[in-house]
A and B are shown apart, each in its own frame.
Chain A
Amino acid sequence: ETGVTQTPRHLVMGMTNKKSLKCEQHLGHNAMYWYKQSAKKPLELMFVYSLEERVENNSVPSRFSPECPNSSHLFLHLHTLQPEDSALYLCASSQVGTGGKNIQYFGAGTRLSVL
């Protein structure tokens, strides 16, 4: 148990569906991240929220929409996805800024399959 909880663990959706991934961290951190892990590719950073402000958006298609309502919760809203979006989506959190070590702690991930 790393202190970062992701739900659901598995998700199957059609290309016309709308769904959301949820991440919750219990570590008191002030930054949260979404990563995409595809087979045979390095982990891709998608979004970074620091102090609830989005500070990074790595050219992610608009069919992925993040939301960070507070420092403990992070969502990834999905709509009209493509089959190539099938992957493991990982959430992470860290403490950044003065005194923070910026060590990222990861959740177990949501395995997404787009049909």
Chain B
Amino acid sequence: GDSVTQMEGPVTLSEEAFLTINCTYTATGYPSLFWYVQYPGEGLQLLLKATKADDKGSNKGFEATYRKETTSFHLEKGSVQVSDSAVYFCALISTGANNLFFGTGTRLTVIP
């Protein structure tokens, strides 16, 4: 069945450091891939998405590339800020399906 495996946290970085959060997936067919972010006390917000192989999703300085050959969708940011502190979730949905499958989430803390 469909599943998402996400790098376990927590991750603590200094401001302006480079961020990578790994995500790999298992799915039949060609799923759409997402990164969601959850700030403290809030619900999930869509951060970026990619719907087909080699697509690159980007938003707020974050990027992730849909790699079919490695079944991965790693999240990257070149220079993190304190305001990026949150929990990040990788997710997928297969074509025609109702279910979003989520990873367990990675908590990022950025210190000044």
Enumerate chain A interface residues (CB-CB to B < 8 A). 2, 4, 6, 31, 33, 40-43, 45, 48, 50, 55-56, 90, 92, 96, 102-109
Contact = CB atoms under 8 A, between A and B. Distances in A.
Contacts of B26: none
Contacts of A50: 98
Interface in B46-76: 46, 49
28 contacts: A2-B45, A4-B43, A33-B98, A40-B104, A41-B104, A42-B101, A42-B102, A42-B103, A42-B104, A42-B105, A43-B44, A43-B102, A45-B98, A45-B100, A48-B98, A48-B99, A50-B98, A55-B98, A56-B98, A56-B99, A90-B43, A103-B34, A103-B49, A104-B46, A105-B46, A106-B44, A109-B42, A109-B43
Contacts of B103: 42
Nearest to A107: B43
Contact of A43 (B32, B89, B98): B89
Nearest to A41: B104
Interface in B25-45: 32, 34, 36, 41-45
B98 A106 contact: no
B46 A103 contact: yes
Shortest 10 CB-CB contacts between residues of A and residues of B: A106-B43, A106-B44, A108-B43, A43-B102, A48-B98, A109-B43, A42-B102, A42-B104, A107-B43, A108-B42
Contacts of A40: 104
Given A45-B99, A55-B98, A90-B43, 19 more contacts: A31-B98, A41-B104, A43-B89, A43-B102, A45-B98, A48-B98, A56-B98, A90-B44, A92-B44, A96-B98, A103-B49, A104-B100, A105-B46, A106-B43, A106-B44, A107-B43, A108-B42, A108-B43, A109-B43
